[in-house]
Structures are given as structure tokens and as C-alpha cells.
Amino acid sequence: MKQRKSLDWNFTVEASTYTILAIAVIFTSFPILWGLTTSFKPLDQINVFPPTLFPKPVVFDSYIKVLFRSNFKVYLFNSIFMTGFTVLVSTALASHAGYALARFKIPHRKNIMFALLMMGMVPIVALLIPLYLLSVQTGLYNTRLVILLIYVAWRTPIMTWILYGFFSQAPIEIEEAARIDGCTPVATFYKIMLPISQSGLVSSALLSAVFVWNDFLIAFTFTTKENLRMVSVGLYNYITQYGIIWGELMAAAIVSIIPMIVLFILMQRKFVSGLASGAVKG
């Protein structure tokens, strides 16, 4: 009887949990669903009362305009390039720095760590004007290089801090065993520590990728050239001075979230294990 009551209680808890989760999923995914259906609606059906969820008929005009009759594919390429490059360079720099800080006896290590953390706390908007003036004076304004430099400089400190936490928690015995087997400190880092730290590297890299992909401020401020624009700025183009082009805006938004969704699906397992092992807890 007692066991039956316990089973009932467990079932109730489980059912409630799933119900709440289902509501949460519907609640959070509804705007995306609405955007998706709007992107398939004919122009004159986007603003109607009462509103309709499903398009009748389904048209692909908005996607055709976004993908083939605008510069959106250029923006997509730029975003993918900038994000990929930033993640690669930042991860390379941050992993070396994080490991060195975690394992080597570096004077003022705590102060350096504190400084790194503080650098990550400075809002980018506070640096915008000096960076802008600097980029104009150095002739780097309106180049990919300046945007990449800023992104790398922006993301590397916080990634170093995250990876420092991850390397610090890694068992030192593995490194000691490698040393006994004849590994140099450098070889230990590349052959032992990096492979076993994949989940931490992936987690911090993914977080940085999302930051760069979603950034508007830097992408907008440091270029006025059409061929250098990124997706975040390109989306803004659909909010025109004459009105909002809802169909194309929604189609472009859907297209722009696909790379991030694919990235998360591919990296999901490592990302979750990185989160669980404290890689992003510092």
C-alpha cells in the first residue's frame, strides 16, 4: 500500500514536471513558430485581423527575396567567417593562457586573474568611442581586421578565465604520469591536456560564438561597407524608414538562427558535459 502511494506520488511529480516543461517549451518556442509561419505568408496576409497562425497558401517569396535578391548571403558569410575566426583565435590564445595560469608559478597570478575578469566586465559600449577613433586614425576602419581584433580582444579574457577554471580542476596526476613517461610541459599540454579538455574548450567556444554571432554594436559601428556587414546588422535593414517588412524580416531571422542551431546540435554532448564538469563555472 505504501509502495503504491509512493508510485502514485512519483507519477504525479513526473506528470507535473512534464506538463510544466511542455508549457515552457510552447511558451518559448511560440515566437519562433509565429516567425516561421509569418515568413511563409503572402504579403497581404501578414497584417490581417483576426490573425492566422498558418499561411494560406504557403509562399516562399520572402525566402527568395532574402536569399537571392538581397545581400543577406554576404552577411551570412561575414558572420560565419568572423565568428569562426574569432572562436579559433580566442580559443587558441585563451587555452594557452588559461593553462599557463593554472599550472605554472606565475608571479601575481591572482591579480592577473582578477584583471582578466574585470576586463570581461567592461561593457563594450564604454570602449566604443575610443576604439572608433583609434580605428579611424590607424586606417583600420571599414576593414574586417579591426572587427576581428575587437572580437578577439573582447572574448579572449573571459575565455581565459573560464578555461583557467577548467584546467585547474583537471587532475594533476595525469600530467605527472605524462611527465614520468617523458613528456615535456609543452607536449603534456598539447598531447594530454587539450584532448581531455575538449568539453571545456567546446563550451567556452560555443558561448563566444553566440556572443559574436548576436553582436550588433561592433558589427554596426566599425563598418559602413555593405560587403562587410554581418547578419545582425543585415536583419536591421528590414526595419526601414517606411515600415517594417515583416515577411522578409522573419525569413531572414529564421535563416540567421539556423547556423547556431546546427552548431549547438553538433556540439550538444560536449557542451553539456562541459557545463556539468564546471568548465563555465569558473
Smallest distance, Å, CB 191 to other proteins?
29
Over the window 52 to 71, marking each residue x when it contacts other proteins by CB under 8 A and - when it does not, the resulting string is -------------x---xxx
CA atoms within 13 A on the CB side of 204: 33
Stretch that binds other proteins, among 88-96, 237-245, 255-263, 265-273 (CB under 8 A): 237-245
Over the window 253 to 282, marking each residue x when it contacts other proteins by CB under 8 A and - when it does not, the resulting string is ------------------------------
Smallest distance, Å, CB 245 to other proteins?
8
Length of the chain: 282
| Contact residue for other proteins among 22, 118, 122, 239 (CB under 8 A) | 239
Smallest distance, Å, CB 39 to other proteins?
15
Site for other proteins contains 14 (CB under 8 A): no
Smallest distance, Å, CB 221 to other proteins?
8
Over the window 100 to 139, marking each residue x when it contacts other proteins by CB under 8 A and - when it does not, the resulting string is -----------------------------x--xx--xx--
Smallest distance, Å, CB 47 to other proteins?
4
| Contact residue for other proteins among 145, 172, 177, 262 (CB under 8 A) | 145
Chain residues binding other proteins by CB under 8 A are: 43-45, 47-49, 51, 65, 69-71, 81, 129, 132-133, 136-137, 141-145, 148, 220-221, 223-228, 233, 236-237, 239-244, 246
